[in-house]
Chain A
Amino acid sequence: MGVTCAIFKREFRSYFSTSMGYVILVVFLALSGFLTIKGRFFELGQADLRVFFDGLPLLFIFFIPAAGMRLWAEEHKSGTIEFLFSLPVTVAQAVMGKFLAAWLFLLVALALTAPVAITVSALGHPDTFAIVTGYLGAFLMGGVCLAVSILCSALTRSQIVSFVLSIAVISLFVFADSPAFLSWLGSRVPAFLVETIANMSFVGHFESMQRGVLELRDLTFYGILIAGLVAMTCIIVDHRRESC
């Protein structure tokens, strides 16, 4: 645990040791504020965070790859991976430490959107439980997107390639249950496959949590995806050491 914790601390602090972490946070906050207000947050007159939560998947498509692209690509490019694995560190500890640091960074970003929740509470009587489960859903969905992004980062030594690849993969999962995509797919593949693909969407599971519905199947979905992607990242990092 000590080793994972050391890597976690280093990575998390690294976000704020350059301007990168601050830039990502400010842009995320500005865009989430913009999307919330543009979604007629005030005019709708509803005391909930639906408008804010609805904009998050779209934001995550860009925000998460920006936060995760560096984590392994930079280690490969600068050669620090050789140093890292000369220390008594296992691949699993390094991957977990980095993932948890990025996940905490996401938590900081989400925590900084608290003024939206505070505004809703001041103006009306929102369902607090739905807000809490909505945030939990956003944190879990963001965790899956991060796990995708870190996996992409482990595949390349270029941060740009890692960034673009993550955007492509995350978009695919975010838009997997969009009506336009599903109707296009419906005329080409069997119905059960369409349903399976729709169920793989990161957003579908997030939507029920936004409404205050906390179901085991949603939590399991995110949990299994995160664990699977982190495990795949471990395999890739271990395999790619040889090519350094």
Chain B
Amino acid sequence: MINVKNLRKTYGDLVALDDVSFEAKKGDILGLIGPNGAGKTTTLRILSCFIEPDSGSATVGGFDILAQPVEVRRCLGYVPEKSPFYGEMTPRWFLKFVCDVRGINGSTYRSEIDRVAVASSLDGVMDRRIETLSKGYQRRLGLAQSLLGDPPILILDEPMAGLDPNQKQEMAELIGLLAADKCFVISTHVMEELETICNRAILISRGKIVADSTPADFKQKGQGRIDTFFRRATSEA
């Protein structure tokens, strides 16, 4: 569902991504891990067609990110890192707006909004202004909007940041529940999240992929601890 080939992206002298290639298929919950500034967000922004790579190519859901950005975005749900949403809106209004943009209208949009609101546990705050919601609710709203229209690919940038342990658990369960017929790409720099949520893992450091395997394999290579492997691999890179 996602095919990335030789992506390279620079910001001035800084090489954010250097020859990054990977694939992800249906059923994958692919975790992108790496230190801060490793290139995780840049990768996800390129996949969601927010920015363009300097060179290399990628297809998402069979569509080319450079030639067909609108088609790419139609088949993916994206949760940006800081959940930046319009503060003056209420979750209900906001979700309706996303439905309008995604062409979900007529009789279906109400049931669709109800479905994602229940799945993301947003009931009770649907008519409050987004700027007054706690960080946890804002993250859940981010997830809710990405589920509208049931896109086959979901890209989540640091979905657990700002959540309490209960909310993290709920988020992990929800992702697990949806995973069978979807492809998830999740960025994180927290090792436990990788272990509990993901069935595949890619370690990026300084813009390069240093390992592409599974969390279990990372753990084994780190003598039972993923963070041991993480530290060793990122310091060698």
- Which of chain B's residues 76-103 have a Cβ closer than 8 Å to chain A? 76, 78, 80, 82, 84-89, 93, 97-98, 100-103
Complex Cα gap A90–B74 (Å): 12
**A side interface size, CB within 8 A:** 25
With a cutoff of 8 Å between Cβ atoms, the chain B residues found around residue A79 in the complex are 80, 82, 84
Knowing A85-B50, A86-B48, A86-B50, say if A80 contacts B86 (CB, 8 Å). yes
Report how far A80 CA is from B101 CA in the complex, Å. 15
B101 x A6 contact (CB < 8 A): yes
Of all chain B residues, the one with the shortest Cβ separation from A5 is B100
The reply to whether A3 and B101 contact each other, CB–CB distance below 8 Å, is yes
Assembled-state Cα–Cα distance A92/B90 (Å): 26
Instruction: Write the A78-101 contact mask toward B (1 if CB under 8 angstroms, else 0).
Output: 111011011111100000000000
Residues of A contacting B93 in the complex (Cβ-Cβ under 8 angstroms): 13
Verify if A10 is at the interface (C-beta below 8 Å from B): yes
Contact status of A87 and B73, CB under 8 A, knowing A9-B100, A10-B97: yes
Given known A-B contacts A3-B101, A241-B50, A86 and B89 have beta carbons under 8 A apart: no
Main secondary structure of the interface of B (DSSP, over half): loop
- Report if A82-B50 is in contact (Cβ < 8 Å); known contacts: A17-B88, A87-B73: yes
Residues of chain B from 58 to 80 with CB closer than 8 A to chain A in the complex: 70-71, 73-74, 76, 78, 80
Across the interface, name the chain A residue whose C-beta is closest to B48: A86
* A86 lies within 8 A of B51 (CB): no
Query: Which of chain A's residues have a CB closer than 8 A to the CB of B89?
Result: 10, 14, 17
How long is the Cα–Cα vector from A86 to B98 in the complex, in angstroms? 11
Which residue of A is nearest B146, CB measured?
A86
Pair A83/B100 contact, Cβ less than 8 Å: no
Give A116 to B82 CA distance when docked, in angstroms: 48
Cα distance A9–B48 in the bound complex, in angstroms: 24
Tell whether A82 pairs with B45 under 8 Å between CB atoms, given A17-B89, A88-B73, A242-B51. Answer: yes
A82 touches B100 (CB 8 A): no
Given contacts A87-B73, A90-B70, A242-B51, whether A82 and B101 have CB atoms under 8 Å apart is no
Q: Is B49 an interface residue (CB 8 A)?
A: yes
A115 touches B (CB below 8 Å): no
B102 touching A87 by the CB < 8 A rule? yes
B51 x A83 contact (CB < 8 A): no
Q: Contact between B101 and A7 (Cβ–Cβ < 8 Å)? A: yes
Contact, CB under 8 Å: B86 / A6: no
CB pair B98–A87 under 8 Å, yes or no, is yes
Chain B, range 124-138, C-beta contacts under 8 Å to A: none
Whether, in the assembled complex, A2 has its beta carbon less than 8 Å from a beta carbon of chain B, the answer is yes
Cβ-defined contact, A80 with B97, below 8 A = no
For B80, list chain A residues within 8 Å (CB).
Answer: 79, 82-83, 86
A85:B100 contact, CB within 8 angstroms: no
Cβ of B49: which chain A residues have Cβ within 8 Å of it? 85-86
A18 close to B (CB within 8 Å): yes
Beyond A78-B84, A83-B85, A242-B51, is A6–B70 a contact (Cβ under 8 Å)? no
Complex CA distance for A244 and B42, rounded to whole angstroms: 11
Provide the bound-state CA to CA distance between A2 and B104, in Å.
Answer: 10
Distance in Å: Cβ of A135 to nearest Cβ of chain B:
30
For residue B35, give the distance in angstroms from its CB to the closest CB of chain A: 21
The residues of A that contact B48 with a CB separation of less than 8 Å are: 85-86
* Residue in B71, B101, B105 whose beta carbon sits within 8 Å of that of A87 in the complex: B101
B59 CB, min distance to chain A CBs, angstroms: 16
Task: Given A83-B85, A241-B50, check contact A6 B100 (CB 8 Å).
Answer: yes
A199 to chain B, nearest CB (A): 40
Q: Kindly identify which residue among A78, A82, A88 contacts B102, using a CB–CB cutoff of 8 Å.
A: A88
| Bound CA–CA A206/B45 (angstroms) | 45
Q: How far is the CA of A90 from the CA of B82 in the complex (A)?
A: 22
Q: Which 4 A-B pairs have the closest CB atoms?
A: A6-B100, A79-B84, A86-B78, A88-B74
* A–B Cβ pairs within 8 angstroms, 25 of them: A2-B105, A3-B101, A9-B97, A10-B97, A14-B86, A14-B88, A17-B89, A18-B88, A78-B86, A78-B87, A80-B86, A82-B50, A85-B48, A85-B50, A86-B49, A86-B78, A87-B102, A88-B70, A88-B73, A88-B74, A88-B101, A88-B102, A89-B73, A89-B101, A241-B51
